[in-house]
Structure 1
Amino acid sequence: MNSQKELLTSSYDFTLPSKFIATYPANPRDSAKLLVYNRKTDEIIHTYFHDFEKFIPKNCALIFNDTKVIKARIFGKKSTGGKIELLINKPLDANNINVYIRGKVKVDTKIYFDEELVVIVKELRDDGSRVVNFYKNISLLRFEDLLPILDKIGHIPLPPYIQREDNEEDSSEYQSVFAKEEGAVAAPTASLHFTGEQHKQICDNHTHAYVTLHVGSGTFKPVEAQIITDHPMHSEYYDISDKAKELLDSNISILSIGTTSTRTIEFYEKHGKIQRGEANLFLHPNNKPLRVNHLLTNFHLPKSTLLMLVASFIGVDKTQELYAEAIKNEYRFYSYGDAMLII
């Protein structure tokens, strides 16, 4: 394999007819298609997600990401009356929140929202994000106090390629059945395929544990550098439960449910086995996984770090081959799309 090719961003491009971009979820969730790729036999199997358990390798532990998507998009007005859209990215600490704002602002700009919520802009960052504080009745809010207000006035932050407004259904559908820890602004999408019943059955039958990675909006950012290693990787808060730590520190085989669980596990493995903090790991063919043996994932955007993560398991040529196979078989792509299992 030409490692130079695997470092070129252009190697991760592909053309996807827009009709294959899923704008609504599969109903029921487990009716989504599933492409299974067996690396030992080089075999591709086309099936459906309700058969996922049949393909779980023996003596293997599943690691799920239990993050919960918050209603991170809110709409307000400046004192001049100009309309503003704000997307929360992540808290930097209890009070300072990193956000993206659609509309012109400067430091000290005030933005007014329903529920007597006021934002004051504190800092304009070079990457286009802003640092803000949230107030209610002139009291500075901590991030955890902001969440119930967002639940009332906010919108589910659907990915930009789902070109429609969010609806009531998205509040539950763009959320895994085991979502628990609030803080993500994008769903860990491989998790969206599980029904409650299927998840319970798998957990009854297989060793499993949970990690938390609060997925940030950087997950959608395409790699713009010509060489993938020049890409500045975004960071996200993670927390590894004691049970997950125990499994990761053992020699049991790991099936990671999604790229977000994979980034969490591999950051832990490669950076001193620290149980919580900020993870900014970029997995690609020159930085392969050390701990995750098998991967369940969705089909990702061209030139994305997520596509490069898939290639860290199987190489760029095989990734392109499987994506071409998925397109030929009319799989649905991206967040609400179909799934792939690499064993």
Structure 2
Amino acid sequence: MRVELLDFELPKELIAQEPIEPRDCARLMVLHKSSGEIQHRVFYELVELLSSGDIIVVNDTKVIKARLRGRRLPTGGKVELLLLRQLEDGVWEALACPAKRARPETEIVFGDDFLGKVVEIKQTGTRVVQFNKAGSEFWEALEKYGNVPTPPYIKREVSDEKSYQTVYAKKLGSVAAPTAGLHFTERLMDELVRAGIKITSVTLHIGWATFKPITSSEVEQHKMEEEYCEVSEDAANEINMAKTNGKRIVAVGTTVVRVLESVADEDGTVKPWAGWTNLYITPGYKFKVVDSLITNFHMPRSTNLLLVVAFAGLELTMKAYQIAINERYRFYSFGDAMLILP
């Protein structure tokens, strides 16, 4: 599939710069795959669109303060790191800007007693950085000197860091938020549970894989990096029970889709799991578990958009995106949402 099929023209003013408040007042486009019908709703109406016994699966990862601004020793030149994933205790893979100031053996100081040393440059251009702290001391230093990273298309500093975390975030490890989940409020989750709709969580720590753009001319040539994920025995049992009972499995975000499809048997049975996945979903993929998807409106030529195309079809997805543009939906991380139903 040619990557230009994932292109669309988006007016800059439709790129959301801050979240809607309350969160669940975001707009919700409902896309019915079987009929092609499109409805315009509000996210807090989700409870009216699902049924008792359906299960919503969320990603409970929590965004870390992965952006570090420091100075190169001994020259004092500014260097910024974006931590991508932990390779071992105190050792991280990171993006560096400007990259030319982060050659091997370069030392970068981020605070009074917190520094990192570039020990390797990978073929992808990322840096392997050894920090002078590990364990709890590293996390304390990161909390003190780091900043929550936001995508480059968000031009203003996020004044409230909680706005870039889901209300159910628990497990530190992501360098970007699972943005489909940003629309949930505690009130809405309570309403869903009272309506008999189950909510369970899995974990995928978002790294470079999720936001790395597709640069190859054919989407099949793109290589997906690994990301760490977990599925508990309780979550697997709840999902399998709902599937056995013929209820909908509603994934909140493309990361949840990738987790569940990574850990499922060919018959769709979800297994408990803790490990790494590089599952890359392209058109033609046969979904084994997920039949409904809550997702945001994604960037052109992104693996997220490609997954949505694989799930709902190219023609219907791009039609929905054009309607969203015409109807002035808000796009990307702080934007509006789409619910794709069978």
The bucket for the TM-score relative to the shorter chain is over 0.9
Where does residue 332 of structure 1 map in the other structure? 330
Q: Matches of residues 88-99 of structure 1 in structure 2 within 5 Å?
A: 88-99=83-94
Q: Which residue, out of 191, 198, 212, partners 2:181?
A: 191
Q: How does 1:4-15 map to 2 (within 5 A)?
A: 7-15=1-9
Partner in structure 1 of residue 282 of structure 2: 284
Shift of 1:51: 0.7
Q: Which residue of 1 aligns with 2:204?
A: 213
Structure 1 distance, partners of 2:265, 2:258, is 10
Instruction: Give, in angstroms, the shift of residue 313 of structure 1.
Output: 1.3
- The structure 2 residue matched to 1:124, chosen from 121, 125, 132, is 121
Choose the corresponding residue for 1:201, options 191, 201, 207: 191
Tell me if structure 1 keeps the 8 A contact 2:50–2:197.
no
Partner of 1:100: 95
| 1:23-53: CA deviation from partner (whole Å, max 9, x where unpaired) | 1111111111000012233211101111111
Question: How far off is 1:58 after superposition?
Answer: 4.7
Please, which runs of 5 or more residues in structure 2 have no aligned partner? none
- Opposite residue 301 of structure 1, the aligned amino acid is M
Mapping 1:147-296, distance limit 5 Å: 147-164=139-156, 166-169=157-160, 171-204=161-194, 205-250=196-241, 251-252=243-244, 253-269=248-264, 273=271, 275-296=273-294
The CA distance in 2 between the partners of 1:206 and 1:93, in whole Å, is 39
Q: Tell me the distance in 2 between the aligned counterparts of 1:195 and 1:174.
A: 13
* Structure-1 residue corresponding to 2:131: 134
- 1:291-330 C-alpha deviation (Å, 9 max, x unpaired): 1010000000001110010011111111100001111110
Q: Aligned residue for 1:313?
A: 311
Deviates more, 1:91-100 or 1:262-271: 262-271
Q: Secondary structure at the match of 2:4?
A: helix
Offset from partner CA, 1:181-214 (integer Å, 9 cap, x none): 0010000001000112112332343222110101
The answer to whether the Cα contact below 8 Å between 1:63 and 1:254 also exists between their aligned partners in 2 is yes
Matched, 1:341 2:334: no
SS at structure 1 position matched to 2:251: strand
Corresponding residue for residue 49 of structure 1: 43
TM-score (norm 2): 0.92
Hey, what's the Cα distance between the residues in 2 that align with 1:274 and 1:52? 28
Contact 1:216 1:236 in 2 (8 A): yes
CA shift for structure 1 position 281:
0.9
Q: Is the 8 A contact 1:70 1:147 kept in 2?
A: no
Residue 27 of structure 1, aligned match among 12, 21, 26: 21
- Alpha-carbon distance change, 189 to 51 in structure 1, aligned in 2, over 3 angstroms: same
Aligned partners of 1:59 and 1:198: how far apart in 2?
Answer: 16
SS in 2 for 1:92: strand
What is the DSSP-based 3-state SS (H/G/I as helix, E as strand, rest coil) of the residue aligned with 1:77?
strand
Number of positions where the alignment pairs a residue of Structure 1 with one of Structure 2: 330
Per the alignment, in what secondary structure is the counterpart of residue 168 of structure 1? coil
The CA distance in 1 between the partners of 2:329 and 2:158, in whole Å, is 24
Matches of 2:61 and 2:137 in 1, distance apart?
A: 18
Distance 2:2 2:158 in 1: 39
Q: For 2:93 and 2:35, locate their aligned partners in 1 and report how far apart those are by CA, in whole Å.
A: 46
Q: Partners in 2 of 1:196 and 1:145 — Cα distance? A: 32
Give the distance between the partners of 2:122 and 2:30, measured in 1 at CA: 42
Question: How many percent of aligned residue pairs carry the same amino acid?
Answer: 38
CA distance in 2, matches of 1:206, 1:248: 12
Unaligned regions of 5+ residues in structure 1, if any? 1-6
Aligned to 1:3: none
User: Distance in 2 between the 1:174 and 1:326 partners?
Assistant: 23
What one-letter code is carried by the residue in structure 1 that aligns with 2:122? Answer: R
Q: What displacement does 1:57 show?
A: 4.1
Farther-moved stretch of structure 1 (297-306 vs 97-106)? 97-106
Give 1:128 shift: 1.5
Contact 2:47 2:191 in 1 (8 A): no
Deviations 1:65-103 (A, max 9, x none): 000001111111111111111111010122321111113
Q: 1:270 to 1:82 in 2, by over 3 A?
A: farther
TM-score by length of 1: 0.92
Distance 2:214 2:166 in 1: 27
Of 248-257 and 89-98, deviating more is 248-257
Q: Which amino acid aligns with 1:53?
A: V
Q: In angstroms, what is the RMSD of aligned CA positions?
A: 1.7
Query: In structure 1, what is the Cα distance between the partners aligned to 2:137 and 2:200?
Result: 28
